[in-house]
Structure formats: structure tokens, C-alpha cells
Amino acid sequence: MADKTVIIKIKRQQSPDAKPQWEEFELPWKRGMNVTSSLMDIAANPLTRDGKTTTPITYDANCLEEVCGSCAMLINGRARMACSALIDKLDQPIRLEPFSKTLWMDLAGLPMAKIPFSRPGPIRRNWTIATRRRARP
């Protein structure tokens, strides 16, 4: 019997003006695996499914407890937090996309600002800090 694997497709672009492209990765399945742990594995070994080396991925993850929202992204077309999205509960291939510049989300019951895209660094999330300050009692 073949070892179980996970297929992850990530939508990427090299600059804000570049055309987005999909890159596909294959990882060995692990018990309790979530999207954040998968991203960590891909960042540590940026090798596509067809064996080509690619630029390391960038992503945000902060609390890893579904509190801060820094790991929010589109997972299979739905806004979710990567830290709580378990691989076993997702349809494969798993499609990961950053929020677009025009997509507005309300994940925590609070209005979120547009998320600016920057490359080659991670998404700027100054709005997360401001939103958390407003939400504190």
C-alpha cells in the first residue's frame, strides 16, 4: 500500500502587477496535520510536485489558536484560518489563496480592512493589531 499524501495547490504571484499562477505541492500525510503545518513543510522544502525548486512561500501565522486571524486565507474557496483547518476534513487537492485586494471578510464579527498585497514579503497586517485594540473590553 502506498503512503498517504496530501496535494496542496497555492495561488502565487511574484509582484502585485504580475499574473497569478498556481503551484502544486505534494506532502506526506501526518496525523493531526493542519494547513499551517503544511505551509511550514512547504516553506522548509520549496519543491513543487513535479520536482522543480521554487521560491519559498511566505505566509502569516501568529497565535496558532484561531484567535488573532493572521493566518486567514481562502481554503478551497472559503475564508478560513489555516491554524484550525485540519487536512483530513478538507477536499483534495487543497487550494490555498490569499485574500485579494478587493475582498472584504468578516471572520471574527468585526469589519476587516482590505488586506494589502506585498511581495516578496508577507501580507502587511497592521489592520489586525488595530482591530484587536478596538475589540478589547
pLDDT of residue 136: 52
Q: Which of 101, 99, 76 is nearest to 89 (CA)?
A: 76
Which one is predicted more confidently, 20 or 44?
44
Question: CA–CA separation, 77 vs 97, rounded Å?
Answer: 8
Q: Counting Cβ atoms within 10 Å, is residue 69 exposed (0-12), middle (13-18) or buried (19+)? A: buried
DSSP SS3 for 35: helix
Which one is predicted more confidently, 29 or 127?
29
For β-strands 94-97 and 5-12, DSSP reports them as parallel
Enter the CATH code of domain 5-135: 3.10.20.30
Give yes or no for residue 126 having a pLDDT over 70. no
Beta bridge partners of 7: 26
Residue ranges covered by each domain of the chain: 5-135
Which one is predicted more confidently, 33 or 122?
33
Which one is predicted more confidently, 130 or 47?
47
Question: CA–CA separation, 67 vs 72, rounded Å?
Answer: 10
Residue 66 CA to its chain's centroid (Å): 13
DSSP 134: H
| Cβ–Cβ < 8 Å for 105, 43 | no
Cα radius of gyration rounded to whole Å, the chain? 15
Question: CA–CA separation, 131 vs 35, rounded Å?
Answer: 24
Give yes or no for residue 7 having a pLDDT over 60. yes
Reported as a single tens digit per residue, the pLDDT across 78-121 is: 888 899 999 999 999 999 998 764 343 333 333 344 444 444 44
Reported as a single tens digit per residue, the pLDDT across 44-77 is: 999 999 999 998 888 877 777 777 778 888 899 8
